[in-house]
Structure 1
Amino acid sequence: MTETIRRTDRVRASELVGRGWLNTGGEEVTLEDLRGKIVILDFWTFCCINCLHVLDEMRPLEERFSDVLVTVGVHSPKFDHEADPDALAAAVERYEIARPVLDDPHLTTWQAYSARAWPTLVVIDPEGYIAAHLAGEGHVAGLDSLVEELAAEHEAKGTLHRGDGPYVPPEPVSRTLRFPGTAVPVTRPLGADDDGAAAGRFLVADTGNHRIVELDADLETVVRSWGGGAQDEAGAASDGGQKGHRDGTGAEALFTEPQGVAILPAEVAAQVGYDVVVADTVNHRLRGIDVAGDRVITVAGNGVQRLIDSDRVTQEQTGGVGSLGTEPLEVSLSSPWDVLWSAAAGTLIVAMAGTHQIVEFVPTTGELRVLAGTGLEGLTDGAADEAWFAQTSGLAVDAAGDVWIADSETSSLRVLRTAQDPRAPQVETIVGEGLFDFGFRDGDPSQARLQHPLGVAALPDGSVLVADTYNGAIRRYRGEHTAADGTTVDAEVSTVARGLKEPSDVLLDADGSTLLVVETNAHELVRVAIPEEFLTVDEGAMQSHRPSTDVAPGELTLTVGFSAPTGQKLDDRFGDPTQLKISSSPEELIVSGAGSSEGLARTLQLDPSVGEGVLHITARAAACDGAPGEEIPMHAACHLYQQDWGIPVNLVEGAADTLPLDLRGVK
């Protein structure tokens, strides 16, 4: 059934309370200041890929209704680092957020609006009443209709005030690099005129300037670049660089927040006509750079974010391992974050952050294939087609051909083992516990903790380096090995360097004695000496601080509200298009009712002797374009609505025995 997302009750919106405001010229903003405007509160946290998707999908809506709509970003942090005001200010600049932002480090406003997930959207009408409450991404079509409806209604009532909102743009800053994401060494001549001069140079994803640059060995001089628009004589992009999607020469081409870069082997490049592959993250595409021809082309992705697998391997699947076909420009991708050439596999490996999967791309045939990950967000090991990831980010391949993964949202280091049996790859977690567990702890890998790592590098000695981004550190994992004296040394995590500003990538420098670190929030690449002895740090294990909910012990009824937006209907062609997956920490909290099943309602039995814990809930619903009562056309656009909740609960006698959540519901 298709319904409006508008609430039918009249609930007064709560005041906006936090530590301070960004993008308002230093002024505080109250609900009274916003009276007469339609307001959308966007509860976000800057680690969250779904939140970043919402930022981008909201931009056209905000532009269309600029005189009646004010979007307020309420930043309610998940990780400890995200509560740092300097880190938040950097994120607001990095993602070019053109809206007022409330800094809500203690989740005060989050609690006032009963937010339970990132992202959550709350719509407030011009009279100050809550009009809608939504979780997750993909709601813009419904919001467009609702804003139009509210604007017409309050225009007629005389309660709509047109004009500018409280947003005050910051002063632009010109930098040579701006929030660089990754770097790779130039390992072979790129272009006929290189004749050895490329030795010591690096290709860098200059993410904030929306371009790819080749840096000289001094890490400062820009040799050449592709994308980003005009630049000055020093190589700095003007006004942060121009973003968009456009193929053409290096000067003509446009990227949007590119993250990963990989150089193809010379023999592969000769076959396909391009040398470099770029993960063009916000454009949801892979791009190719022909260096000698000074040409940028799109090699995979149709630019439509992949929310549901319309190229299903079987009709019953909405994700999972399997081929996506050999027409790469017709396939939808979702926020490719890193790319890596695997000599062992002879393919390009892609960290598909938006769908929490590892994908491979064969440049010579055009085939795209999901290598690992169901598309569900979380931390589950085992066979590649059963594994769960969470914002797969950095990639590295070791000498055996196994792929190491920085799985950022679970703060984990994981490995996709393919060397032993390429036909049955397995996923194993080396460091990490779950979606809401993090910290800064060395030692035994099973007890070690990271905080939102984005980069990883495999070293010749078998150890693995991690760019531990939110801890501002470079960490090292070394598995069990035999020392020079013949004794067995246990596996261990240690710290190589700390005090860095959001390092997002790390690699071994050409001399083998230093590391090259992409220090994102310092806007530079830096060399770090490898110490003779590594540090051992233990600042503890932590969990994301979310308010607890009191629920009754025993039977608990959990429901997730969902209604398809206007112009869509539930995709029931292959059975029930909704699904719940529920687990808990500790596992003993749920006596019965855990696991996956169709439908958006479940009855759980909670063990009163456990007392407290966290319910982990993933809800999915599939809808396709079409009218109620009509069959869905074969090639209709389809959409996946998905949200993950981690809800801390206290078992209290006499508390509520129901737990209602909204994926896209009506209250």
Structure 2
Amino acid sequence: MTARVRAPELRGHGWLNTGGKDLTLADLRGKVVLLDFWTYGCINCLHVLDELRPVEQKYGDALVIIGVHSPKFVHEQNHEALAAAVERYGVHHPVIDDADMHLWQQYAAKAWPTLAVIDPTGYLVASMAGEGHAEGLSRLIDELIAKHSADGTLHRGDGPYVPPAPADTLLRFPGKAIELPGGNLLVSDSARHSVVELTPDGETLVRRYGTGEGGAPFSEPQGLLLLPPSVRDRVGYDVVVADTVNHQLRGLRLDSGEVTLVAGSGKPWRSAVEGTQPALEADLSSPWDVAWYDDKVIVAMAGIHELWWFEPAAGTVGVYAGTTVESLRDGPIPDVWMAQPSGLSVGGDRLWIADSETSALRYIEAGVLHTAVGQGLFDFGHVDGPAEQALFQHPLGVAALPDGSVLVADTYNGAVRRYDPATDAVSTVDSGLAEPSDILVTSTGEVFVVESGGHRLIHLAPGIVKTVTGERHQTERPPSVIGAGPLTLDIVFTPAPGQKLDTQFGPSTRLEVSAAPPELLLEGAGVTTDLSRPLVINPAVGKGVLQVIAQAATCDVDEEFPACHLTRQDWGVPVVVTPGGPSRLPLILRGMDEPA
């Protein structure tokens, strides 16, 4: 900790959770300040919010966490939508709206999420990307508190957080819905950490399952699945619940209300395990939806960009599709790329998937993954017409219709869209909605939309079809300029205070590199254990995305029973190839910030 870099001032487009006050670094002088660069559609950012909660509680009088919301999608630039997300995800610290990515650039962030630590005298002392930093942060904060207490520059006391007024609605940010055998509806009431049964009109509460408090038995539940009758009889529960923030699956018995843990250790996934695993021992990662397909439960494992399978009777789980690489690549499963799959629906022999971060509609048929609509991680919009030209914006839900077409909850466009395989075209069925997150087609043919941002279920009027030309968008994240030819990719990683690289089970680091388009990389793709990699960039490809996955294993030093830690980050780095451009691309996994 020798670099002395002044932290750039906090300037944005408004503040949340401060009681209307705009904060400056001078207001925070005397505190350890942790900036959390996030965007609320990013599942890894939501993981970090959960990792930071105990840190926030432990150091409440000496530490101030500031959420810096630097948006990926156009919808996320809306201040009111950000305010709703701050409530939805229980963010209990100030948040600054960085809609134009000014602070993102000032602090040289290159990935969601990124953390930056500022000491009590206003100097930037550390930066880190990805998940798994809570233990290292605690050690660093302990060091800063000890040093600045001794120097007299640490000022303990209340922080600037001012909670918003509580809301009073029947549902609060509902996620998914299914129909029960008697015609009632079951809805995951995500922000109230419960599952609710409603009358067939979707408006009257019948019963609430869960305490309404996060953690027990549910924490921000999402997907719901009514098991086939023969399976229900064997396992003793009726509904599988994707208990998203607990990283578990739970079984719900409808008659008694009994809730049973059926899969997930409760620890978030950190590294791959091959083959079949006992369900209760497996580490899951933000399961977002569930569906019955291929005679098993398929789980949209949004947190690691995969689909998993769960066999209820055997009590086992395994990977069904995906490799943890966050991108769009089709082909035979499991060796495909996905990006935060968040919605599932079965239609005939197809499993339809809302792949939210690629703004794509995809499906699996006969063991092969196909993309029906979608162009990649950074291309999105609201465009109808031929599928190859159509665009969604971060869809979270999908519902297969009896005629073979598919309805899509196009969440960030506030719309319900329809894809018709017969014409290979997309149309808009309804719009002007508040973040629709799921669509339910009942046994009588009624269509309900889970309007998550409107805190309700609504009927979808039949026969409404629009054609929206809309706008095409690309993420306005500043690209990294690189040179053609040889390029050194350096992952900067320094173990946290009191930790060292852990080699007891083999190499402590792993680096995986690929590109979109693949032609961007002439050499250097693949997996190695070295965090520095020589690449060769194709001069004939003007721009693209470098996809980088890095991880580092560490363990505690001088402990009788040292704890082990894994730090991991996926980068999708947009690059522009320029003659004479830089021949080195550094990405910080954990280290000292360079001057911004």
1:542-593 deviation per Cα after TM superposition (whole angstroms, max 9, x unaligned): 21001233333433222111234444534573557411313145x5544443
Structure 2 match to 1:299: 262
Contact 2:509 2:531 in 1 (8 A): no
Question: Which amino acid in structure 2 is aligned with residue 657 of structure 1?
Answer: S
1:417-439 deviation per Cα after TM superposition (whole angstroms, max 9, x unaligned): 23xxxxxx111111111111111
Contact 1:376 1:388 in 2 (8 A): yes
Structure 2 match to 1:520: 452
Structure 2 match to 1:221: 204
Secondary structure at the counterpart of residue 40 of structure 1 = strand
Count of equivalent residues: 592
Match of 1:406 among 332, 336, 354: 354
Matched, 1:125 2:55: no
Structure 1 match to 2:88: 94
**Cα distance in 2 between the residues matched to 1:78 and 1:113:** 17
**Cα distance in 2 between the residues matched to 1:8 and 1:429:** 49
**Cα distance in 2 between the residues matched to 1:38 and 1:577:** 30
Structure 2 match to 1:111: 105
Listed as ranges, the matches of 1:93-492 within 5 Å are 93-186=87-180, 188=181, 198-199=182-183, 201-228=184-211, 241-245=212-216, 254-309=217-272, 312-313=273-274, 322-324=275-277, 327-342=278-293, 345-400=294-349, 402-418=350-366, 425-480=367-422, 490-492=423-425
Match of 1:511 among 423, 444, 452: 444
Matched residues, percent identical?
Answer: 50
Q: TM-score, normalised by structure 2?
A: 0.95
Moved more, 61-70 or 288-297: 288-297
5+ unaligned residues in a row in structure 2: which ranges? none
Secondary structure at the counterpart of residue 111 of structure 1 = helix
**Cα distance in 2 between the residues matched to 1:286 and 1:590:** 40
1:298-334 deviation per Cα after TM superposition (whole angstroms, max 9, x unaligned): 111111111113xx22xxxxxxxx322xx32221111
**Cα distance in 2 between the residues matched to 1:572 and 1:432:** 43
The structure-2 alpha-carbon separation of the partners of 1:348 and 1:571, relative to structure 1 and needing over 3 Å to count, comes to farther
Secondary structure at the counterpart of residue 529 of structure 1 = coil
**Cα distance in 1 between the residues matched to 2:166 and 2:407:** 35
Q: Which runs of 4+ in 1 moved over 6 A?
A: none
Contact 1:619 1:663 in 2 (8 A): no
Question: Which amino acid in structure 2 is aligned with residue 125 of structure 1?
Answer: D
**Cα distance in 2 between the residues matched to 1:576 and 1:61:** 26
Contact 1:78 1:544 in 2 (8 A): yes
The structure-2 alpha-carbon separation of the partners of 1:70 and 1:604, relative to structure 1 and needing over 3 Å to count, comes to same
**Cα distance in 1 between the residues matched to 2:544 and 2:124:** 28
1:187-216 deviation per Cα after TM superposition (whole angstroms, max 9, x unaligned): x2xxxxxxxxx32x1000011111000000
Alpha-carbon shift at residue 382 of structure 1 (Å): 1.2
The structure-2 alpha-carbon separation of the partners of 1:385 and 1:436, relative to structure 1 and needing over 3 Å to count, comes to same
Secondary structure at the counterpart of residue 386 of structure 1 = coil
Alpha-carbon shift at residue 619 of structure 1 (Å): 2.3
Moved more, 642-651 or 298-307: 642-651
Q: Return the index of the structure with the highest Cα Rg.
A: 1
Cα RMSD (Å): 2.1
**Cα distance in 1 between the residues matched to 2:582 and 2:440:** 52
Secondary structure at the counterpart of residue 55 of structure 2 = helix
Question: Which amino acid in structure 2 is aligned with residue 360 of structure 1?
Answer: W
The structure-2 alpha-carbon separation of the partners of 1:575 and 1:32, relative to structure 1 and needing over 3 Å to count, comes to closer
Structure 1 match to 2:33: 39
Contact 1:569 1:627 in 2 (8 A): no
**Cα distance in 2 between the residues matched to 1:166 and 1:266:** 53
Q: TM-score, normalised by structure 1?
A: 0.85
**Cα distance in 2 between the residues matched to 1:515 and 1:223:** 20
**Cα distance in 2 between the residues matched to 1:133 and 1:121:** 6
Secondary structure at the counterpart of residue 174 of structure 2 = coil
**Cα distance in 1 between the residues matched to 2:235 and 2:539:** 62
Question: Which amino acid in structure 2 is aligned with residue 407 of structure 1?
Answer: D
Alpha-carbon shift at residue 603 of structure 1 (Å): 2.7
1:40-90 deviation per Cα after TM superposition (whole angstroms, max 9, x unaligned): 000000000000000001000010000000000000000000001111010
**Cα distance in 2 between the residues matched to 1:272 and 1:106:** 51
